[in-house]
Structure 1
Amino acid sequence: MGASLAPTSLSAQETINLTVASSHPLVIPWVGMIKSVFMARTDEILAETGNYEISWNEAFGGSLYKANATLTSVEEGITDIGWVFSFLEAAKLPLSQASSYAPFATANPPVQLDVMEELFETNDAFRNEWEQYNLKVLGFTGTDMYDIYTKEPIEGIDDIDGMKLSAPGVLGTWLRGTGANAVDGALTTFYTDIQTGVSDGVLSLALGALPTKLYEVAPYISRFDAGVAFSGAVAINRDTWDSLPEEVQNAMIQAGKDYTEAHGKDLLERHEAAMEKMVELGADQDPPVTVTVMPEEERVKWVNKLPNLAGEWAEPLEAQGIPANEFLAAYMDGLRERGEEPARDWDAE
């Protein structure tokens, strides 16, 4: 759609028309924060001089495109700015999947996002895999901790053997070795998948399960604290970006940093609150929502059931000349340098 400039008053303030969109609705926290943090901060910064203002054309909730087209929609200018869901872009964004193939490495979203932000600045291969698609990354997104939500109760990780569990894109690999069958999906499809019997439950996160009411159809929440994952970025079409005045670009760069920081803190702080809220909201349903904290030995058992996911992910990429092992090591080292203790040293296997 591109940015267009038009004078709005005798003060020579210019209005820039931009479309901002996403496949997911505003009730999903990291989407809602595009509006409440990124857009709001951009407006706030620009208001300091009054030279420019942005007229935002909002198209959230899949009104322009669905979850399988988040990258191409920004790349092709269907939207100027949008959230790119990297989980569903494994072929085009291979290095961005590193955290997904190194599960149980960290349960600290702010730390993980800090590592990814640093890698984007220092690792050319990582940055180029995004920028080659005619876009500029402004902010990064991640997840809170993943747990298992099911229609029937389970007592341990062995009980998911034979179950069909929905999972977003590459995160289905976290079920390998458990005997569960991964069903590809996203937060926008999970509820219906369970309701219609396509799946028996989901591998999902509290901040997504709460607004989409997954607890209504999968009331048994088994807390394994499987860790967090890098999930994508808020990006702007490069042609649109190049057309923007430098002052507007600088405002968006700062707003993007603020978005990443606020989003990381939000993921950490609201995870427990979301769990408690689901129990509260589901108290009167039949069966009521039940949260079971799995013993540490069950978490360890799950980790040890997994094959060498990172090695299997890296090998074919290395054959293509993509420095997957180097990137994985940099990611894991970044976590360790910040005090994290991965449950499994994926980069050493």
Structure 2
Amino acid sequence: MRILYGLLTAGMIAMPTALSAQETINLTVASSHPTVIPWVGMIKTHFMARTDELLAETGNYKIEWNEAFGGQLYKANATLTSVEEGITDIGWVFSFLEAAKLPLSQASSYAPFATANPPVQLEVMRELMAKNKAFRDEWEQYNLKVLGLTGTDMYDIYTKTPLTGIDDIDGMKLSAPGVLGTWLRGTGANAVDGALTTFYTDIQTGVSDGVLTLALGALPTKLYEVAPYINRFDAGVAFSGAVAINADVWNDLPAEVQVAMSRAGEYYTKAHGEDLLKRHEFALNKMVELGAEQEPPVTIVTMPAEERAAWVNKLPNIAGEWAAELESQGTPANAFLSAYMDGLRARGEKPVRDWDK
């Protein structure tokens, strides 16, 4: 009994020491968009959760997450500066709205209809982030360390009245996020700058007649209630931004935490790409289901391949114009555009238009 008591006492004495050896790190993670938006919700369910899992393997560190999703700290127009300036430690940076600061990040937006495969596109962008210095530098110059990448599912046009073809948008006001307004050039439509957080109100108040957007954003924001006609063009996918951490915060983190976050970022990127591919059809069908009783009911208007081709052919050489302007400023856009397109083609993708040729 004395021996047993001695062992128990020693264990009780040792226990607080073992527990106190674990260091708790407080970090704020935030976004402009709510967690019902899939790639934002996955910051919590995939990036944060995976980081926690990896750190728990050794028990040396634990992160106390201070969550501020859904625009609690800043709106969509301040995603980059909020991470850069440390308003949040970690946040989703919406590159669509940062064309001036992140020019190379707009390459996929100026080369539309190049791929409808989100996992492949994100794989190409992750490779470029690792190997292309100019691309990496344009993020890191703003005191950012990129952890995970985000993209979109396929884009379609949501309207209050159905379209019979791409010619019908001539004269219409269509909301689109930032640089994606360039996809409407040559069509006669007028682009209205906006984001998922503004689209519903844009249509409801008559600011726009419809929206160029993606199903995984339209479903949770209930866009189908005010724009019940989903004119399905399958316009392709685009690189939309990154989960990034303030570089000063990153540099102060222990090496083990940095490794865990890097691995969690890779996991997030891969899972996000697969999620986009799987959930696109589900989201379209779900909107039809949810809007079946409204008037008019939600309807998917499937456009033939000729209409998608007609849309692409209406566009001026937006990729060439974009690259030429950046080249005049000393940014190697031509090489980056070629690397992006080559990366897609090397993985079996067949762009509707070879923007780098």
TM range (shorter): over 0.9
Tell me, what secondary structure is at the counterpart of 1:17?
Answer: strand
- Among 151, 157, 160, the alignment partner of 1:148 is 157
RMSD: 1.0
| CA pair 43-153 structure 1, distance change in 2 beyond 3 A | same
Opposite residue 221 of structure 2, the aligned amino acid is T
1:332 aligns with 2:341: yes
1:243 aligns with 2:252: yes
Tell me, what secondary structure is at the counterpart of 1:232?
Answer: strand
The answer to whether the 8 Å contact 1:8/1:14 transfers is no
Q: Percent identity?
A: 84
Opposite residue 292 of structure 2, the aligned amino acid is A
- What's the CA shift for 1:37? 0.1
Tell me, what secondary structure is at the counterpart of 1:316?
Answer: helix
Give 1:240-279 correspondences, 5 Å limit: 240-279=249-288
1:101 aligns with 2:110: yes
- What's the CA shift for 1:316? 1.1
The answer to whether the 8 Å contact 1:146/1:204 transfers is yes
Alpha-carbon distance in 1 for matches of 2:251, 2:130: 20
- What's the CA shift for 1:11? 3.5
- Among 243, 266, 269, the alignment partner of 1:234 is 243
Matched with 2:185 is: 176
Matched with 2:321 is: 312
Alpha-carbon distance in 2 for matches of 1:43, 1:30: 18
The answer to whether the 8 Å contact 1:8/1:15 transfers is no
Opposite residue 243 of structure 1, the aligned amino acid is D
1:51 aligns with 2:60: yes
Tell me, what secondary structure is at the counterpart of 1:346?
Answer: coil
- Among 293, 297, 309, the alignment partner of 2:302 is 293
Alpha-carbon distance in 2 for matches of 1:229, 1:269: 16
Please list the CA deviations of residues 186-244 of structure 1 after superposition, one character each: whole Å capped at 9, or x if unmatched: 00000000000000000000000000000000000010000000000000000100110
1:302 aligns with 2:311: yes
Alpha-carbon distance in 2 for matches of 1:329, 1:147: 26
The answer to whether the 8 Å contact 2:196/2:217 transfers is yes
Greater radius of gyration (CA): 2
| CA pair 62-8 structure 1, distance change in 2 beyond 3 A | farther
Q: Unpaired segments of 5 or more residues in structure 2? A: 1-15
- What's the CA shift for 1:155? 0.5
Opposite residue 78 of structure 1, the aligned amino acid is I
1:133 aligns with 2:142: yes
Matched with 2:232 is: 223
Matched with 1:112 is: 121
1:323 aligns with 2:332: yes
Tell me, what secondary structure is at the counterpart of 2:341?
Answer: helix
1:209 aligns with 2:218: yes
Alpha-carbon distance in 1 for matches of 2:287, 2:50: 31
Opposite residue 59 of structure 2, the aligned amino acid is G
Tell me, what secondary structure is at the counterpart of 1:178?
Answer: coil
Alpha-carbon distance in 2 for matches of 1:318, 1:148: 32
Matched with 2:355 is: 346
Give 1:15-30 correspondences, 5 Å limit: 15-30=24-39
Alpha-carbon distance in 1 for matches of 2:19, 2:211: 56
Matched with 1:87 is: 96
Which structure 1 residue ranges, 4+ long, deviate > 2 Å from structure 2? 7-11
Alpha-carbon distance in 2 for matches of 1:225, 1:178: 16
Please list the CA deviations of residues 138-158 of structure 1 after superposition, one character each: whole Å capped at 9, or x if unmatched: 000000000000001110000
Alpha-carbon distance in 1 for matches of 2:144, 2:151: 19
- What's the CA shift for 1:135? 1.0
1:192 aligns with 2:201: yes
- What's the CA shift for 1:10? 4.0
Q: Unpaired segments of 5 or more residues in structure 1? A: 1-6
| CA pair 8-94 structure 1, distance change in 2 beyond 3 A | farther
Please list the CA deviations of residues 32-66 of structure 1 after superposition, one character each: whole Å capped at 9, or x if unmatched: 00000000000000000111100000000000000
Opposite residue 154 of structure 2, the aligned amino acid is M
Matched with 2:13 is: none
Tell me, what secondary structure is at the counterpart of 2:91?
Answer: strand
The answer to whether the 8 Å contact 2:204/2:226 transfers is yes
Matched with 1:35 is: 44
Tell me, what secondary structure is at the counterpart of 2:107?
Answer: helix
Alpha-carbon distance in 2 for matches of 1:318, 1:149: 35
